[in-house]
Amino acid sequence: MLILLKNQVNKEYEIIFRPHPSERPGAWSRYHNLVKLGLQLDYGNLYYRLRTIDIVISLEMTTVLFEALAYTNRVFLLKSRASISHIKGDEPFIIIDDYNDLIHSIRINKIVSKINIDDIWHPNAIDSFNIFIKSIKL
């Protein structure tokens, strides 16, 4: 799916793949072909990365989706074997049925979620969190 996505939005977006922390020890051997095809693997500070991206896409229900909402309203969960059993219908991010819906949403919809982050995070959470992140030496 990442290669299909890269082929569709390559000129508009840089695609960065972030393996789950539990995958890190074997990530290079598992995903090196993605790097050969032009995708970037990211192992850096998650919160720094979230501050620098426009779109987050996941195949799994993960806390990163909720954390990403503090920085962008373009957060997608693609239905998959791993996510389908966790989808309840009241998620604050956009649930995408398939790859075609994902491409359409990326290209057509500039804003896809109108969630008020204060409904998820403490008011002024972004400012407070950014102050905290800046205090950490990277």
Residues 32 and 60 in one domain: no
Distances (CA, A) of 33 to 18, 29, 85, 109, 123: 14, 8, 30, 30, 42
Q: How many domains are contained in the chain?
A: 2
Residue type, 50: L
- Residue 136 is part of which domain span? 46-138
Please indicate, yes or no, whether residues 84 and 37 belong to a single structural domain of this protein. no
Q: With a threshold of 0.85, does the pTM exceed it?
A: no
**Residues 133, 79 within the same domain:** yes
Tens digit of each residue's pLDDT, the chain (138 residues): 666 676 666 677 788 889 888 888 998 899 888 888 888 899 999 989 998 988 999 989 998 998 898 888 889 999 989 899 999 988 888 899 988 888 888 887 656 666 777 777 777 777 887 887 888 766
Verify that 35 and 68 share a domain, yes or no: no
Please tell me whether residues 26 and 81 are part of one structural domain: no
Q: Same domain for 67 and 20?
A: no
69 plus 24 within the same structural domain: no
